[in-house]
Structure 1
Amino acid sequence: MTSLHRELVSIQQQEKPKRILEAARGLFSSLGLKNTSIEDIATKAGLGKGTVYLYFKSKEEIFSSLVADFQESLHFVTLDASSISGTATDKLNAIIEARVNWWERSYVEYGLTTISLYEALSTPVSKAARERFQVEDVKLIKEVLEEGIRSGEFAFANCTRNANLIHATLDALCFPWETSEGRVAAQDRIKTFCRLLLKGLNVH
């Protein structure tokens, strides 16, 4: 075997786990964890079932890997948004917009359904990952709120409580809004929440 051949084989071996994860991501999103089998994943990835087992012991291990990547990606989206140049209000708006749009892309790109999302969020693996990153995300939001208080943009007493409340509301926004008039677009959800959060219900 030539060095070039060995290099090509090595690249192919590295690509297989990625293909498996990408296939599983789409299937878990559209069908859910319970309704997806290793055989389904192998077929979508264009690999044999045995090949999948060379890299992952079970579909639960694949799911665990995806959940970790999923939550980490959402965290970095939040981190990037909180780091933009601008006022604390700008940063808070950016965080809200980034997280809502991130979830919207998941629905569009992977065919994520509300049912499969509820199933995923109820698993111990998902709960543990969310709790781990929640601490970091709440901290980022809290820092923005504290910046806003220092600059005179915001006025309230408990940054920690408000940061947790905003984070919990953003979690709720991961689900589509359905009304009698149909599904509410992501940008409309963002505008509604930002207006309510930053301007309140009172007439000023």
Structure 2
Amino acid sequence: MSYTIPNLFLDAFGLKVNQVYRPELSTGNPDKPKGLFSGMEIAENINESFDTSSRGTAILFPIDFSEGNYKKYNDKGELINVNMGDFRLPIASVVSFRRDKIMSQTKINGGRGSVKEVYGFDDWQVTINGFLIPDNSQKQGFTTPLKQEKELVKWDNLASSIEVFGELFTLRRITNLAIKGITFEPMRGKPNIRTFTINALSDESIELNIKSGI
């Protein structure tokens, strides 16, 4: 059974994902791709490749859930601590971001438009779409789709926000995610591939200073 990652994204999510050609390791500079490499985006600097797959292809924007002590509910409904190890999300993952402003709009009598008062920014709405595929380069040993799905379910079961690392998240100053929901779906004609979608919100610590009159 053969497939390409761009075709999988197009079939499953309607997303067009361009392929990337990785520069030569010896020089750090890209060759001029021809033939099978035509139409690919060229990474001008090998340092742009933060990670590589088992086939040596570049993973430009990997997403990692960071190890740490988190909260979850046990079978008795009690909140307990649980230690989680690092988890690099499946390499065939793409992330989208959306954020609204918190504003008040006042209509103008006899005029056009409105008066807008901006009070702040809402949370980032984060959607991660991807595939669970065999991956021998998975750092934590989750090399099969089943192992990856089980690990994602463990993270979804947490009752606390998750520390996340990735350049696209750092760019938006997102350090933690609160998972709202996760979906797993099979792909027709591809029994060893499953799609997943994570819907999450950005989360950040809020410090409250309480002044005591005592």
Greater strand proportion: 2
Could you say whether these structures have the same fold, taking a TM-score greater than 0.5 normalized by the shorter chain as the test?
no
User: Smaller-chain TM-score range?
Assistant: under 0.3
Indicate the structure (1 or 2) with the bigger Cα radius of gyration. 2
User: Which structure would you say has the larger RCO, counting Cα contacts within 8 Å and 6 or more residues apart?
Assistant: 1
Q: Which structure shows the bigger proportion of residues in helix conformation?
A: 1
TM-score (normalised: structure 2): 0.23
